[in-house]
Copies of this chain bind each other. A is one copy, B any other.
Amino acid sequence: MTDVEYPGAPLSPTDRSTIRRGKQRAATERGALYEVLDAGLLCHLGVSTDSGPLVLPTCYGRDGDTLYLHGSTGAASLRSLAAGGPACVTVTHLDGVVYARSVFHHSANYRSAVIQGSAVVLTDDTERLHGLRVMTENLAPGSWEESRPPTARELAATIVLAMDLHEASVKVRTGPPVDDDEDVAAGEHWAGVLPLSQVWGAPQPCPLLPSDTVVPERVSQR
């Protein structure tokens, strides 16, 4: 495992955001949190419900130390979140499978950020539009300027939430497997990393577009 250094202020974790297992994988700089969040498109949002935790994938965006989330006003899964209930947002990048000499030391290379806290429903229209813009730009850079803006009716159907990034922890694993000395010495089994990455495919224009429509650079150059 290699050390990872990040610029920025410490994450200042609270007791519940302090990583106890695998401390050597815990990044302590705020820049590490930003890097993990800004590299992601989907988070996994955990909320409490009467029948236990519920974890759903959803889009998000970050601006400074604020994470924005959104959803339909009718979404039952947002009820607890909108009421200020405790929540957890996790973003994970899987960077590779770690093949060890032993079954036990098999692992994964990854970067993950875990944010705990509660969200606030935004009511100010300027703030709501800002949050939606940040989320749109994270999912589809350039789309905020290049698409038809939200109407009043669309805005009314949307809850926009903000969550503070104060309580967060980041874990990063990189590098080759860490095997027991005896297994390394025995030299009987292959070991190494099979990297995994996400790649964009060729743009698929909507069939309803006029046939001479050019794919914009914000899409073709992504």
**A residues bordering B, Cβ < 8 Å?**
16, 20-21, 41-42, 44-49, 51-57, 59, 72, 74-77, 85-90, 92, 94, 96-97, 99-104, 106, 108, 110, 112, 114, 116, 118, 132, 136, 139-140, 143-144, 146-151, 154, 158, 176-177, 179, 183-184, 186-210, 213-216, 219, 222
* Shortest Cβ distance from residue A119 to the other chain B in the assembled complex, whole angstroms: 12
Residues of B within 8 A of A90 (CB): 44, 55-57
Would you list 30 pairs from A and B whose C-beta atoms are within 8 A, ordered by A residue?
Answer: A20-B76, A21-B77, A44-B44, A44-B46, A44-B92, A47-B53, A48-B53, A51-B86, A53-B86, A53-B87, A54-B114, A55-B90, A57-B90, A57-B110, A57-B112, A99-B143, A99-B219, A100-B147, A102-B150, A103-B132, A148-B189, A187-B209, A190-B215, A190-B216, A190-B219, A192-B203, A195-B202, A196-B199, A197-B198, A199-B199
This chain's copy number in the assembly: 2
* Shortest Cβ distance from residue A18 to the other chain B in the assembled complex, whole angstroms: 10
Cβ-closest chain B residue relative to A216: B190
The answer to whether B219 and A205 touch across the interface, beta carbons within 8 angstroms, is no
The answer to whether B183 and A206 touch across the interface, beta carbons within 8 angstroms, is no
| A118, A199, A214 pick with most chain B CB within 10 angstroms | A199
